[in-house]
């Protein structure tokens, strides 16, 4: 052990510490919701770097979203493992493809399409067909599923009887669309996001020099959210590894919510069969949620394949969260379910409850409203706006893509070059005033959203250690911008459940818990219902202190009953 490497392990519980000390060979971590998996894997990597077991330049941490990669990168930086790369599968693959293409193919790599729908629409029109926007998006999803499942068009045709039917498109026409879309991209010398992984995989298979370069660059791999790996991603990962097995995978089968997109928890659950010498660890101590929330989540997933039974650790002496919940002003209460006549009634009640929570001292940023589909957000947005409550829609425009945020960062970077030695808070507040920030928040909802975004930059400056210079703060902002590590915005978060995975809030409302909405109406098979159940599990386990569930009885003249998941979690009303 070198330097202060041992200190890195002090923040871990015994189970997390075992994982952090398992630095070599194949390692599988089955980690339940709220069990500190990100803490375990980032400390494992940092410990490997500090002890000299890992060269940071040869470590690659892989996850599925830019936000998650940014969080990993930020935590690793805080732990002193600056040289380690945290990337998405697509981000790492695109960088490698762009590097190898001039060497082994010649010229620049093909342009990556920002989306498939426009090209599919052109293909459909050339066939003399007229299809709606929803059907075009469904076709795009089918093309993605085919590619991530490693199926040729001919092989995909054999699977069609088991695939969902698409409105206005029979099997023969659908195959023709796949074929026409492929030819159109070839003519344009363009590729889509799945092609990035397909082409890189092919290059690593046929070009030994390319494979050798990757394996010389990266020696140690960590893959987070391994339950969401597709056959294509698994294939690429094997090519990255070659004959080596220094791979740590982390996941939770109960949070497999992308099966419709080709993800499979089988790679996580069968890891021991794939690597017979693998060490398997379990993280089942839940530090996030109060005991009633944890017990409800356990009931929902009891006896399901790969399900972990979480142990509630909130308030247990000797854990990382030693204070009893009541000592933090939180009295553990069971999840509650409310039933309303209409969707409007539900939205108004949720908005009023949030207004009361804020009035009693709960910050807006500690509250989230989760729903099954994005279409449900409109009613909630309208109701919250009527109460004057600031909101941010998660998954909409990214924080660092906002024009006002980009301008503010440019001003701060410019001021850093000017050598301003005033207190950091004063400098940053002056720069923010130049782009429209004021000490008093505005009244209008659109202006309030802009103000909250700028104010979050000032809050970040206020949280920096005493004596932080404008130069150091500018560097921190730039690093966060590159990794999409967003600061906290003081607003209620609205999010579809799929987009909320990996996040948490003290107070969570899950709305629309009615049969036909959640679970969604097209979930007809047992397999589809199980996916919906896992999605409900993800939604419920986002809550730390308070979980409020609700649904409504009628919409568009359709009568509904409460979602089966409410009763399965043991929540009464």
Please indicate whether the domains covering 5-93+197-283 and 292-396+492-568 agree at the CATH topology level. Answer: yes
Rounded Cα distance between 307 and 409, Å, is 44
Structure tokens at 280: 């398997």
- For residues 367 and 479, which has the higher predicted lDDT (pLDDT)? 367
Instruction: For the chain, count helices (H), then strands (E).
Output: 24, 17
User: In the CATH scheme, what is the homologous superfamily, with its name and number, of domain 5-93+197-283?
Assistant: P-loop containing nucleotide triphosphate hydrolases (3.40.50.300)
Annotated binding site: 31-38
Phi, psi for 385 (deg, rounded to 5): -60, -40
- For residues 134 and 3, which has the higher predicted lDDT (pLDDT)? 134
Is residue 478 within 8 A of residue 449, CB to CB? The reply is no
Stated length of the chain? 573
Q: Is the pLDDT of residue 71 over 90?
A: no
Burial (CB count <10 Å: 0-12, 13-18, 19+), residue 10: exposed
- For residues 498 and 442, which has the higher predicted lDDT (pLDDT)? 498
Rounded Cα distance between 440 and 302, Å, is 50
Q: Give me the helix-helix angle, 231-241 and 208-217, nearest 10°.
A: 80
Structure tokens at 435: 């782009």
Helix (H) / strand (E) containing 183: helix 171-188
Supply the pLDDT for residue 54.
95
CA angle 31, 33, 38 (to 5 degrees): 60
Block residue for tokens 């309208």: 382
* 255: Cβ contacts below 8 Å, ≥ 6 apart: 33, 225, 227, 501, 534, 537, 538
Q: How many CA atoms lie within 13 A of 283 on its CB side?
A: 30
Average pLDDT over residues 190-212: 96
Rounded Cα distance between 350 and 356, Å, is 10
Confidence band for 4, pLDDT divided at 50, 70 and 90:
low
554-568 pLDDT, tens digit each: 865 678 999 999 999
Annotated binding site for ATP: 31-38
Average pLDDT over residues 296-301: 95
- Mean pLDDT over each residue of the chain, to the nearest integer: 89
Rounded Cα distance between 314 and 436, Å, is 42
Structure tokens at 372: 């099954």
Q: What is the dihedral of CA 447, 448, 450, 454, to 10 degrees?
A: 140
Supply the pLDDT for residue 340.
95
**Distance from the Cα of residue 436 to its chain's centroid:** 31
Structure tokens at 288: 């996030």
Q: Is the pLDDT of residue 314 over 80?
A: no
Comparing C-alpha atoms, which of 535, 564, 483, 389 is closest to residue 72?
483
Confidence band for 322, pLDDT divided at 50, 70 and 90:
very low
Supply the pLDDT for residue 558.
72
**Distance from the Cα of residue 32 to its chain's centroid:** 15
Rounded Cα distance between 312 and 546, Å, is 15
Highest mean pLDDT among 201-205, 305-309, 326-330: 201-205
- For residues 557 and 305, which has the higher predicted lDDT (pLDDT)? 305
Instruction: Give CA separation, 127 vs 165, 167, 177, 181, 182, in Å.
Output: 19, 16, 8, 11, 14
DSSP 8-state symbol, 525: S
Average pLDDT over residues 339-357: 95
Q: Is the pLDDT of residue 327 over 80?
A: no
119-141 pLDDT, tens digit each: 999 999 999 988 888 889 889 99
Supply the pLDDT for residue 381.
86
506-525 pLDDT, tens digit each: 999 999 999 999 998 888 88
Q: Is the pLDDT of residue 444 over 80?
A: no
* 531: Cβ contacts below 8 Å, ≥ 6 apart: 256, 257, 259, 260, 523
Rounded Cα distance between 48 and 59, Å, is 10
Share of the chain above pLDDT 70, in %: 93
Q: Using DSSP bridges, classify how beta strands 543-555 and 492-496 pair: parallel, antiparallel or unpaired.
A: unpaired
Count other Cβ atoms within 10 Å, centred on residue 444: 11
Block residue for tokens 């008093």: 440
Count other Cβ atoms within 10 Å, centred on residue 20: 22
Domain boundaries in the chain? Answer: 5-93+197-283, 114-191, 292-396+492-568, 399-483
Q: What is the DSSP annotation of 391-438?
A: EEETTSS-GGGSHHHHHHHHHHHHHHHHT--S-HHHHHHHHHHTTT--
Average pLDDT over residues 208-214: 96
Confidence band for 319, pLDDT divided at 50, 70 and 90:
very low
Average pLDDT over residues 145-174: 91
Average pLDDT over residues 171-193: 95
Supply the pLDDT for residue 522.
80
Rounded Cα distance between 223 and 88, Å, is 10
Instruction: Give CA separation, 379 vs 139, 353, 392, 487, in Å.
Output: 29, 15, 14, 27
Supply the pLDDT for residue 132.
84
Confidence band for 167, pLDDT divided at 50, 70 and 90:
confident
User: In the CATH scheme, what is the homologous superfamily, with its name and number, of domain 292-396+492-568?
Assistant: P-loop containing nucleotide triphosphate hydrolases (3.40.50.300)
- For residues 427 and 322, which has the higher predicted lDDT (pLDDT)? 427
Supply the pLDDT for residue 398.
65
């Amino acid at each position: 052990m070198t330097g202060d490497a041992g200190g890195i392990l002090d923040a871990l519980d015994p189970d997390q510490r075992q994982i952090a000390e398992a630095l070599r060979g194949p390692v599988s971590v089955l980690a339940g919701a709220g069990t500190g998996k990100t803490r375990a894997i980032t400390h494992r990597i940092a410990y490997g770097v500090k002890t000299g077991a890992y060269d940071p330049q040869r470590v690659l941490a892989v996850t599925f979203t830019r936000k998650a990669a940014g969080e990993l990168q930020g935590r690793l930086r805080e732990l002193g493992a600056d040289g380690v790369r945290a990337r998405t599968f697509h981000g790492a693959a695109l960088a490698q493809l762009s590097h190898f293409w001039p060497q082994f193919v010649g010229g620049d790599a093909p342009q990556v399409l920002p989306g498939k729908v426009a090209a599919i629409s052109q293909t459909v029109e050339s066939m003399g067909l007229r299809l709606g926007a929803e059907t075009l998006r469904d076709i795009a999803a089918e093309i993605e599923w085919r590619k991530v499942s490693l199926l040729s068009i001919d092989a995909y045709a054999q699977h069609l009887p088991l695939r969902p039917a698409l409105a206005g498109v029979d099997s023969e026409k659908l195959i023709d669309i796949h074929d026409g879309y492929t030819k159109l991209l070839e003519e344009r010398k363009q590729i889509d996001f799945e092609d990035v992984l397909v082409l890189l995989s092919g290059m690593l298979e046929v070009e030994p020099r390319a494979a050798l370069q990757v394996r010389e660059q990266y020696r140690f791999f960590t893959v987070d959210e391994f339950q969401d790996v597709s056959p294509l991603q698994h294939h690429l990962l094997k090519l990255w590894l070659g004959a080596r097995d220094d791979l740590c995978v982390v996941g939770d089968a109960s949070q497999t919510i992308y099966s419709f997109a080709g993800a499979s928890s089988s790679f996580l659950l069968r890891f021991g069969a794939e690597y017979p010498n693998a060490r398997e660890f379990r993280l089942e101590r839940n530090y996030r949620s109060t005991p009633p929330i944890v017990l409800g989540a356990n009931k929902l997933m009891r006896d399901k394949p790969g399900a972990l039974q979480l142990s509630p650790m909130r308030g247990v002496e000797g854990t990382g969260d030693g204070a009893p919940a009541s000592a933090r002003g939180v009295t553990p209460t069971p999840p509650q379910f409310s039933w309303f006549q209409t969707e409007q009634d539900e939205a108004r009640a949720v908005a009023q409850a949030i207004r009361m929570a804020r009035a009693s001292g709960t910050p807006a940023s500690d509250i989230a409203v989760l729903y099954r589909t994005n279409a449900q957000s409109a009613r909630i947005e309208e109701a919250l706006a009527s109460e004057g409550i600031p909101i941010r829609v998660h998954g909409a425009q990214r924080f660092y893509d906002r024009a006002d945020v980009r301008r503010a960062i440019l001003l701060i970077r410019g001021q850093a070059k000017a050598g301003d030695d005033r207190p950091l808070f004063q400098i940053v507040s002056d720069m923010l005033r130049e782009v429209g920030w004021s000490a008093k928040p505005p009244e209008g909802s659109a202006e309030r959203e802009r103000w909250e975004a700028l104010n979050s930059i000032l809050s970040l400056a206020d949280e920096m250690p005493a004596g932080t210079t404008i130069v150091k703060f500018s560097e921190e902002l730039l690093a966060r911008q590159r990794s999409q590590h967003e600061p906290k915005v003081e607003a209620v978060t609205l999010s579809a459940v799929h987009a909320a995975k990996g996040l948490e809030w003290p107070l969570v409302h899950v709305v629309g818990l009615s049969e036909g909405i959640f679970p969604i109406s097209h979930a007809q098979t047992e397999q589809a219902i199980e996916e919906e159940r896992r999605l409900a599990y993800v939604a419920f386990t986002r809550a730390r202190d308070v979980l409020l569930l609700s649904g409504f009885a009628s919409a568009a003249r359709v009568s509904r009953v409460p979602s089966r998941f409410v009763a399965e979690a043991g929540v009464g009303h």
